[in-house]
Copies of this chain bind each other. A is one copy, B any other.
Amino acid sequence: MRTTELFVKMVIDRWNGSILNLNKLLNALTDEQIEKEITIGKNSGRYLLGHLIAVHDEMLILLDMGEKLYPELLEPFIKQADKEATQSQSVAELREMWEKQNAHLQTKFEKMEPEEWFEKHSAVSEEDFAKEPQRNKLNIIITRTSHLQYHSGQIVLLN
């Protein structure tokens, strides 16, 4: 296997593994459990699920992979905090969005050639990218996997 291909595989495998892990956690929880706060006064499972979908939707833009699926989630699940937000989406709706989004991202990822992952992401200028080549598309996957794991560690506490 070529080095570039190998490296992409390592990063994407960890992303896929993290998604699978969270799917297992979500499948083990009822909608009522997901409605609850992780612990007193903290974010609810519903907020965290909406937040992950909203953040992963932003990835489509950062990775130049077309339009967002759920632009309506930006306001209630990223810009607003849980307690102040007016989120009308139910847990059942969020679960469906999450599954569709994962399938969509997977299809997009599979179309990428290994080298394309090392192109600049859309939020960095050509000038900055020349100086900081680590600000590439693959790095978006690395940082979003970290973010996903962080919140997965919280969602598991609902069980």
- Give the docked Cα–Cα distance between A7 and B151 (Å): 25
Q: Tell me how many residues of A have a C-beta within 8 Å of chain B.
A: 34
- Which one of B1, B3, B146 contacts A145 once the chains associate, using CB atoms below 8 Å? B146
CB distance from A36 to the nearest CB of B (A): 11
Given A133-B1, A139-B10, A142-B11, the answer on whether A39 and B157 have CB atoms closer than 8 Å is yes
Q: List residues of chain B with CB within 8 A of the CB of A40.
A: 39
- Give the docked Cα–Cα distance between A81 and B139 (Å): 34
CB distance from A81 to the nearest CB of B (A): 14
CB distance from A134 to the nearest CB of B (A): 5
Query: Of residues A13, A39, A133, A150, which shows the largest number of chain B Cβ atoms within 10 Å of its Cβ?
Result: A150
- Give the docked Cα–Cα distance between A10 and B10 (Å): 12
Contacts from A to B (Cβ < 8 Å) = 1, 3-4, 6-7, 9-11, 13-14, 17-18, 38-40, 42, 118, 133-134, 136, 138-139, 142-143, 145-147, 149-154, 157
Closest 6 CB pairs of A and B: A153-B153, A150-B153, A39-B39, A149-B149, A149-B150, A7-B7
